[in-house]
Structure 1
Amino acid sequence: MDQNVQKSLLFFFLFVACMAASGEECAEPMTDAWIIDKPIDVSGALGLSDLGEMLLYENSEHGFSVAYPSSWRAEEPDPNDLGVVVGFLAPDEDIDDPKNYLTVQFEVLPAGLTLEGYTEAILANLRGSYPDFQLLAEADMKISERPGHVIAYGVTVEGTAYQVLLAYTIKGDKAYIITYYALSESYAQFEDDAKRMINSFVLS
């Protein structure tokens, strides 16, 4: 991957990764199916024949797979300190200046960190980093048949409004974080795709 692609993908994640850097956990209830509705059945292995217009991204090094629409584009950054494994660009996105995309990253956690503590840390980090942070919704959910949590929020970055859907689970000493990041005006356009991708995430 050339340097421009790497820099662009890392730019994706700077916004996302800052919230996970505090090293605590998560858990919280509430909200309706507005966040993650009609989940894809991930109880068995995903096969391309079952996905229709979906493609399957698999990463054996980090032990996960995720299905993504064929109209989206998967990009892997070079090794980085942010734990970013892969990014998925929405249709017609510019790799050098992406606005709507989904990422998968991981974070190594301190021993004993819980989902609830991780959630508290994420929310504290977001509130401290963005004065206009707006929590839109949050809920517990299953991710790869494991306890997980999802947070929907809005922020403004350099005068531009963004809406973010952040879902995560913990396995062993790692948090796995899936983030849909979009311009507020574009969020609804790709929301269903993003939810399908989050629901299709499977840990080995």
Structure 2
Amino acid sequence: MRRRVILAAMLFTATTLGLCLSCGSSEPAQFVTYTDEENGFSIDYPENWAVEPKTSSELKVAIWSSGIGVNAASIMVGKYEASGYNLQSFSEYRRNYLADNIDDYAAVSTEESIINGRPVIQHTYTETVSLTTYIKLEVYFFESETGWIVCFPCPQKSFNSYESTFDIALESFRLLD
């Protein structure tokens, strides 16, 4: 009898682990490239994600994991006219803007890095939207009086499962000549 209980518990644990491991994002099979010649950039994204070019003065494209609904992981690219700024001052301006305009803004980390030979500043913070806590990674690029923000907002509970997707997208971001 005791052996059956132990066997049943082991079987239950194995089944639960199997289900949990299969939940969440699976590594996308292929990436495709979104190119915006008018705004001068390209970025790779998983082929099964939805893409919506934007016509606002700053946000240029929103790309999100389809099938998840409102709490989708996403990739957004923004372009900002920033005459008189450099990478450091643009990053500082943006972080101050976030702190002043998001009620529950909480900075997690800010670090300098190099991506594709370009200096960048990566800023991670959290924010709660409609009871869902998001981790948002913003990567700041700067060139010729233009600031670029590549942003990866994702529900906190699934951020780790999308991290490699974000890394691939970030490494693919290019400014066109």
Q: TM-score w.r.t. structure 2 length?
A: 0.75
RMSD: 1.8
Higher Rg of the two aligned structures = 2
The equivalences for 1:99-138 within 5 A come to 99-110=72-83, 112-138=84-110
Q: Which residue pairs with 1:71 in the alignment?
A: 48
Q: Which runs of 5+ in 1 are unaligned?
A: 1-51
Q: Which runs of 5+ in 2 are unaligned?
A: 1-28
Displacement of 1:109 after TM fit?
0.8
Q: Distance in 2 between matches of 1:59 and 1:128?
A: 31
Q: Distance in 2 between matches of 1:71 and 1:188?
A: 19
Answer 1 or 2: higher relative contact order, Cα 8 Å, separation at least 6.
1
Q: Which residue pairs with 1:19 in the alignment?
A: none
Q: Distance in 1 between matches of 2:33 and 2:100?
A: 36
Looking at secondary structure, tell me which structure has more strand per residue. 2
The equivalences for 1:1-204 within 5 A come to 53-77=30-54, 79-81=55-57, 83-94=58-69, 97=70, 99-110=72-83, 112-204=84-176
Q: What amino acid maps onto 2:96 in structure 1?
A: A
Displacement of 1:158 after TM fit?
3.8
Q: Distance in 2 between matches of 1:92 and 1:195?
A: 21
Identity percentage over the alignment? 22
| Count, aligned residues | 148
Q: TM-score w.r.t. structure 1 length?
A: 0.66
Displacement of 1:71 after TM fit?
2.6
Q: What amino acid maps onto 2:67 in structure 1?
A: D
Looking at secondary structure, tell me which structure has more helix per residue. 2
Contact conserved, 1:90 with 1:190, CA < 8 A, in 2? no
